[in-house]
Structure 1
Amino acid sequence: MPVLTRLIPSPVVVDISRGALDDLAGLLADQRISSSGKLAVAISGGSGRTLRERLSPVLPGADWYEVADGTIDSAVKLADAIKGQRYDAVVALGGGKIIDVTKYAAARVGLPMVSVATNLAHDGICSPVATLDNDNGRGSYGVPTPIAMVIDLDVVREAPPRFIRSGIGDTVSNLSAIADWELSHEINGEPVDGLAAAMARTAGEAVLRHPGGVGDDTFLTVLAEALVLTGIAMSISGDTRPSSGACHEISHAFDLLHPQRAASHGEQVGLGAAFAMHLRGATESAGLIAEVLRRHELPVLPTEIGFTVDEFVEAVKYAPQTRPGRFTILEHLDLTPDQIRDAYADYAKTIRS
Structure 2
Amino acid sequence: MPELSRLVAAPSVVNIGHGTLNTLSDILADPALSPGSRIVVIAGKNSSQEVTAQLRGLVPDAMWVTAEDGTEEAAKILAAELRYTGFDLVIGVGGGRILDIAKFVAAANQWPSIAIATNLAHDGLASPVSILDAQTGRTSVGVTPPVAVIVDLDLLKSTPPAMLSAGIGDILSNISAIADWELAHEATGEAVDGVAVALARTAADTMLYHPGAVQDDDFLIALAESLVLSGIAMTMCGSSRPCSGACHEISHAIDQLFPEKSKPHGFQVGVGAVFASFLRGDQPTAQHLARALRQHAMPVLPEDLGLTTDEFIAAVVHAPSTRPGRYTILEHLDLSHEAIGEKVREFVQAFH
TM-score, normalization: structure 1?
Answer: 0.95
CA distance in 2: counterparts of 1:35 and 1:5, whole angstroms: 26
RMSD: 1.6
Q: Look up the equivalent residue of 2:282 and give its one-letter code.
A: A
Partner of 1:71: 71
The offset of 1:50, in angstroms, is: 4.3
Write the mapping of 1:23-38 to structure 2, written as runs, cut at 5 A: 23-30=23-30, 32-34=32-34, 37-38=37-38
CA distance in 1: counterparts of 2:202 and 2:148, whole angstroms: 22
Write the mapping of 1:112-151 to structure 2, written as runs, cut at 5 A: 112-151=112-151
Partner of 1:274: 274
Q: Which range moves more in the overlay, 65-74 or 322-331?
A: 65-74
CA distance in 1: counterparts of 2:108 and 2:130, whole angstroms: 12
CA distance in 2: counterparts of 1:55 and 1:102, whole angstroms: 16
The offset of 1:351, in angstroms, is: 2.9
Residues 164-215 of structure 1: CA deviation (Å, up to 9, x unaligned): 1110000000000000000000011010011111111111111111000010
Partner of 1:51: 51
**Match status 1:249 vs 2:249:** yes
Secondary structure in 2 matching 1:110: coil
Q: Answer yes or no: is the 8 Å Cα contact 2:136–2:256 preserved in 1.
A: no
Secondary structure in 1 matching 2:85: coil
Q: Which range moves more in the overlay, 6-15 or 25-34?
A: 25-34
CA distance in 2: counterparts of 1:51 and 1:82, whole angstroms: 23
Partner of 2:158: 158
CA distance in 1: counterparts of 2:244 and 2:34, whole angstroms: 34
CA distance in 2: counterparts of 1:294 and 1:110, whole angstroms: 42
Secondary structure in 2 matching 1:291: helix
**Match status 1:305 vs 2:310:** no
The offset of 1:342, in angstroms, is: 2.4
Residues 263-287 of structure 1: CA deviation (Å, up to 9, x unaligned): 1111110000001101111101100
CA distance in 1: counterparts of 2:137 and 2:50, whole angstroms: 31
Q: Look up the equivalent residue of 2:324 and give its one-letter code.
A: P
**Match status 1:331 vs 2:334:** no
The offset of 1:162, in angstroms, is: 0.4
Residues 60-111 of structure 1: CA deviation (Å, up to 9, x unaligned): 2211111112112331232233323333411001111111111111111111
CA distance in 2: counterparts of 1:309 and 1:35, whole angstroms: 53
CA distance in 1: counterparts of 2:2 and 2:292, whole angstroms: 46
CA distance in 2: counterparts of 1:268 and 1:261, whole angstroms: 11
CA distance in 2: counterparts of 1:57 and 1:195, whole angstroms: 40
Q: Look up the equivalent residue of 1:280 and give its one-letter code.
A: R
Q: Look up the equivalent residue of 2:151 and give its one-letter code.
A: I
Q: Which range moves more in the overlay, 269-278 or 66-75?
A: 66-75
Partner of 2:91: 91
CA distance in 2: counterparts of 1:32 and 1:77, whole angstroms: 29
Misfit runs of 4+, over 4 Å = none
CA distance in 2: counterparts of 1:294 and 1:190, whole angstroms: 34
CA distance in 1: counterparts of 2:37 and 2:18, whole angstroms: 23
CA distance in 2: counterparts of 1:271 and 1:79, whole angstroms: 35
Unaligned segments of structure 2, at least 5 residues: none
Residues 214-261 of structure 1: CA deviation (Å, up to 9, x unaligned): 101111111101111111111111111011101001111110000111
Q: Answer yes or no: is the 8 Å Cα contact 2:51–2:155 preserved in 1.
A: no
Q: Look up the equivalent residue of 2:107 and give its one-letter code.
A: A
Q: Answer yes or no: is the 8 Å Cα contact 2:137–2:252 preserved in 1.
A: no
Partner of 1:105: 105
Partner of 1:315: 315
Partner of 1:195: 195
CA distance in 2: counterparts of 1:166 and 1:44, whole angstroms: 19
Secondary structure in 2 matching 1:192: coil
Q: Look up the equivalent residue of 1:278 and give its one-letter code.
A: F
